[in-house]
């Protein structure tokens, strides 16, 4: 059996990095919630992603200025999917509850193996399907979505979940073919541009200049945006798209934990059971069999 080259990380190492970013994303929920007291949602999204793209460009301008047409096309596709996902999710929150939004967004975990079959021609192994089932059930318990009609906000959010699911698979495909630094920049920059257009089309911009808002914009631009997109673009290609989606489902668990520690929000027993199920789904996705990995 041929060994992996020394510069290729193991699946466990890649999964560990992906797990790390769910903690950062979870912590960012508290920061973003505070920022929205001083800024309209799309304007905040625009500033966060455009600042991140500017910093990333300054760090890697030599590589970014050498983007070829095929990489540009790939970056525009995955950037468009990220931008649609964030834009639809943000717009949906205007009309629906946070709990329903969290659950509907989390259902992208179901969509990833379906997209994998359609576009990667890969059928996930049985344990991954079981892991997906545990993760989605856990998401339901964790977020405790309220009942009621499937309103316009839910529709926007569901559309965003489809975009996130498609992005996970598209990133899996394109990150193996193109330079990950160039793809990282394009994803962030395109999302910022989509945020700018969304600001102009869907909201009355609001911006109250103060130290808190500026520090949150800078912090979220660097950590949950620049750093996290760098990590997922570099390391997701070394695991499977389905397993990555299961790992990403830990994000609301992380968010609930930070909300409890910082904001004093109570998770409750349903939420605790949900967190355990999500973590179980992650563990199941890590179990190895003798059949080929995807």
pLDDT at 97: 67
Structural domain contains residue 291: no
CA angle, 225 then 248 then 243, to 5°: 130
Task: Give the Cβ contact number of residue 98 at 10 Å.
Answer: 12
Burial class (CB in 10 A: 0-12, 13-18, 19+), 271: buried
Q: Residue 153's pLDDT is what? A: 82
Does residue 243 form part of some domain? yes
Q: What is the pLDDT along the chain (294 residues), one digit of tens a residue?
A: 344 455 677 788 888 999 999 889 888 877 887 888 899 989 999 999 999 999 999 999 999 999 999 999 999 999 999 999 988 888 887 787 666 777 778 778 888 888 888 888 877 778 788 888 888 888 788 766 665 666 788 888 889 989 999 999 999 999 999 999 999 999 999 999 999 999 999 889 999 999 999 999 999 999 999 999 999 999 999 988 888 888 888 877 777 778 777 777 676 777 778 878 888 887 777 665 544 444
DSSP 207: B
Domain containing 27 equals 18-286
Q: What is the pLDDT of residue 148?
A: 60
What is the reported pTM? 0.83
Instruction: Give domain status of residue 8, yes or no.
Output: no
Asked if 141 and 287 count as a contact pair (C-beta separation under 8 A), the reply is no
What whole-number distance in Å separates Cα of residue 243 and Cα of residue 274?
A: 18
Q: How many CB atoms lie within 10 A of CB 189?
A: 22
Does residue 110 fall inside a structural domain?
yes
Rounded Cα distance, 274 and 136, in Å = 9
The count of domains in the chain is 1
| 207 DSSP β-pair partners | 39
pLDDT score, position 27: 83
In a domain, 5, yes or no: no
Q: From 38, 39, 73, select the one nearest 186 (Cα to Cα).
A: 73
Residues contacting residue 253 through CB under 8 Å, at least 6 positions apart:
22, 26, 138, 142, 274, 275, 278, 279
Which residue is associated with the tokens 């950062």? 24
What is the pLDDT at residue 2? 40
**Sign of the Cα pseudo-torsion (152, 155, 157, 163, in order):** negative
Residue 71: both structure tokens together: 């990489």
Query: What is the per-residue pLDDT for 1?
Result: 38
Rounded to 10 deg, the angle between the 211-220 and 41-59 helix axes is 50
Q: Is 176 exposed, middle or buried (0-12, 13-18, 19+ CB in 10 A)?
A: exposed
What's the CA gap between 259 and 111, in Å, rounded?
A: 27
CB 95 within 8 A of CB 152: yes
In a domain, 11, yes or no: no
Within a domain: residue 212? Answer: yes
Contact 64, 249 (CB under 8 A): no
Q: Are 119 and 61 in contact (CB under 8 A)?
A: no
Looking at the domain assignment, is residue 12 inside a domain?
Answer: no
């Amino acid at each position: 059996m041929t060994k992996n080259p020394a510069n290729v990380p193991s699946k466990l190492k890649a999964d560990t990095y992906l797990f790390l970013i769910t903690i950062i994303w979870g912590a960012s929920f508290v920061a973003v919630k505070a920022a929205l007291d001083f800024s309209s949602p799309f304007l905040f999204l625009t500033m966060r992603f455009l600042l991140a793209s500017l910093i990333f460009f300054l760090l890697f301008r030599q590589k970014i200025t050498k983007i070829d047409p095929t990489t540009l096309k790939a970056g525009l596709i995955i950037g468009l999917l990220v931008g649609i996902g964030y834009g639809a999710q943000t717009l949906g929150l205007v009309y629906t509850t946070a709990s329903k939004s969290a659950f509907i967004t989390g259902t992208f975990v179901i969509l990833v193996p379906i997209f994998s079959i359609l576009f990667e021609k890969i059928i996930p192994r049985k344990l991954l399907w079981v892991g997906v089932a545990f993760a989605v059930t856990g998401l339901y318990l964790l977020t405790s979505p309220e009942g009621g009609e499937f309103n316009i906000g839910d529709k926007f959010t569901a559309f965003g979940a489809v975009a996130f699911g498609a992005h996970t698979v598209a990133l899996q495909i394109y990150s193996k073919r193109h330079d990950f630094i160039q793809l990282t920049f394009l994803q962030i920059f395109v999302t910022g541009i989509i945020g700018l257009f969304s600001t102009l089309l869907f909201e009355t911009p609001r911006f109250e200049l103060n130290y808190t808002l500026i520090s949150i914009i800078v912090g979220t631009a660097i950590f949950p945006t620049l750093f996290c997109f760098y990590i997922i673009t570099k390391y997701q290609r070394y695991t499977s798209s389905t397993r990555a989606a299961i790992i990403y489902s830990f994000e609301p668990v992380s968010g609930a934990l930070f909300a409890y520690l910082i904001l004093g929000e109570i998770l409750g027993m349903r939420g605790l059971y949900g967190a355990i199920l999500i973590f179980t789904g992650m563990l199941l996705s890590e179990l190895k069999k003798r059949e080929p990995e995807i």
